[in-house]
Amino acid sequence: MKHNALVAILLSLALVACGSEQPESSPLEEAPAAAPTAVEASPETTPGDLEGEAEPEMVEESAGEPDAQAADKPIILAQADSAAAQPEWKYTEGQHFMRMTPTQPTMGGADKIEVAEFFWYGCGHCYNFEPLVNRWAANKPANVRFVHIPATWNPLVKLHAQLYYTEESLVKSGKIDDPVGFRAAVFREYHERGNRLTSESSIQSLFGRFDVSPEDFANTWKSFEVAQKLRMAEDLARRYSITGVPAIVVNGKYRSGAAEAGGYPALLDVIDELVERETVR
């Protein structure tokens, strides 16, 4: 009988140790479950690690003991620094610049932030803006690409756009070694000398003053490269809804001009801010 009583006592103790009754929840277990987050495999993480196939890790006994003081402490969730996440911008969308939705293509690739100036050689405002934007471009950030895109609204404006892309191609091939000086000469020809450059022959004479041979001019003027860039300029002007020049487009996303910005110096400031917006996004 004594033996049977001893067995009964041991059996009851075993049932208490392996019972189905769950222990009372700790404060951590009572908190609402966090939303699931995606797990990205780092270079040190293998697919097996993500599936729970990693070898078990040895844990010291003391590490598994509950910390009574820690259990009583409130849970503090990390909070994002709202000031760092939302910089205070000086200029306002819809007032100083317009945002294009959806974002449109650019002339160059996505390796840099593109700042494009739409212009026309016969535009007096473009003539006045030219030295300012040239100084800006000479000191632009390393992650920025600056491009000119000529307007193509009517036959004369399109003729000057063809002039620009012929000039650009001859600069690239080394036939014109002073692109800034050449552009200044074209502006002066129109605005100071009264030569409206209304024909191919008058444009060729201008190129001849920069030692471009008639053959090099003719081959470039009628080239596939120039024709293709003209089509791209027309397409981008339509996509960007360009209705006046000079107009600035940043990364195919933001459009502004002197009227919206409040003058040419302010326009350069707007460009800088829009470049910064694209840099930090």
What pLDDT does 25 receive?
A: 38
Would you say residue 11 has pLDDT above 70? Answer: no
Placement of tokens 């190129």 in the chain: 207
Q: Are 191 and 228 in contact (CB under 8 A)?
A: no
**pLDDT tens for each residue of 206-245:** 999 999 999 999 999 999 999 999 999 999 999 999 999 9
Read off the pLDDT band of 130 (50, 70, 90). very high
Nearest to 130 by CA among 258, 260, 275: 258
What is the distance between the terminal CA atoms of the chain, rounded to a whole angstrom? 82
pTM of the model: 0.70
What number is the average pLDDT over the span 244-248?
98
pLDDT at 125 over 80: yes
Better-predicted residue by pLDDT, 251 or 57: 251
pLDDT digits (tens, 9 = 90+) for 170-185: 999 999 999 999 999 9
Query: So where are the chain's domains?
Result: 98-280
Q: pLDDT for 85-124, tens place per residue?
A: 667 999 999 999 999 999 999 999 999 999 999 999 999 9
Report whether pLDDT(73) > 70: no
Secondary structure letter of residue 19 according to DSSP: -
Task: Give the whole-angstrom CA distance, residue 129 versus residue 124.
Answer: 9
- Topology of 98-280 in CATH? Glutaredoxin (3.40.30)
pLDDT band at 62 (very low <50, low <70, confident <90, very high): very low
Q: What pLDDT is stored for residue 79 in this prediction?
A: 52
**What's residue 86's pLDDT?**
65
What own/partner pairs with CB < 8 Å and gap ≥ 24 does 172-181 have?
173/220, 175/211, 175/212, 175/216, 175/220, 176/210, 176/212, 178/210, 180/134
What pLDDT was estimated at residue 176? Answer: 97
Does residue 70 carry a pLDDT above 50?
A: no
Q: Please give the backbone phi and psi of residue 53, each rounded to the nearest 5 degrees, phi first.
A: -95, 5
The C-alpha atoms of residue 242 and residue 117 are separated, in whole angstroms, by: 11
